Amino acid sequence: MNKELDFNQAWDTILEYEIATESEMRLVCNINGNRKSVLDSIVSAKSEYRTIEQYMEFNETHMSWDGERWVEDACLTWDDVLPNGYNPS
């Protein structure tokens, strides 16, 4: 994803992806100001990503819409990718 979201787009996306609740975002923005960088700090505090764009870029391929909300796709386990009976020791 190359496009940086503005404050309103980032706000909506954080809610859509259920990264934070509206009340959490309102509290943080009331304290720190209504800036995109503040929303990115929420994303950083609540996930392993530094920005909402980074979060979206990763999750576009790992999440799907179930008709009501975004849900994580099933991830492969080591048993799915390693040969049967593989033991590294």
The answer to whether position 87 is within a domain reads no
**Angle at 17 (CA atoms; ends 59, 24), nearest 5 degrees:** 135
The answer to whether position 89 is within a domain reads no
Contact criterion met (CB below 8 Å) for 35 and 4:
no
The answer to whether position 30 is within a domain reads yes
Element at 12 (helix H, strand E):
helix 7-16
The answer to whether position 60 is within a domain reads yes
The answer to whether position 36 is within a domain reads yes
Euclidean distance between CA atoms 36 and 26, whole angstroms: 13
Q: Residues 30-75: pLDDT tens digits?
A: 999 999 999 999 999 999 899 999 998 887 655 666 677 666 665 5
The answer to whether position 53 is within a domain reads yes
Q: What is the pTM of this model?
A: 0.66
The answer to whether position 1 is within a domain reads no
Q: Which domain, by its residues, includes 73?
A: 7-81
Q: State the total domains in the chain.
A: 1
Per-position DSSP letters for 57-82, written without gaps between them = HHHTTTEEE-SSSEEEPPPP-HHHHS
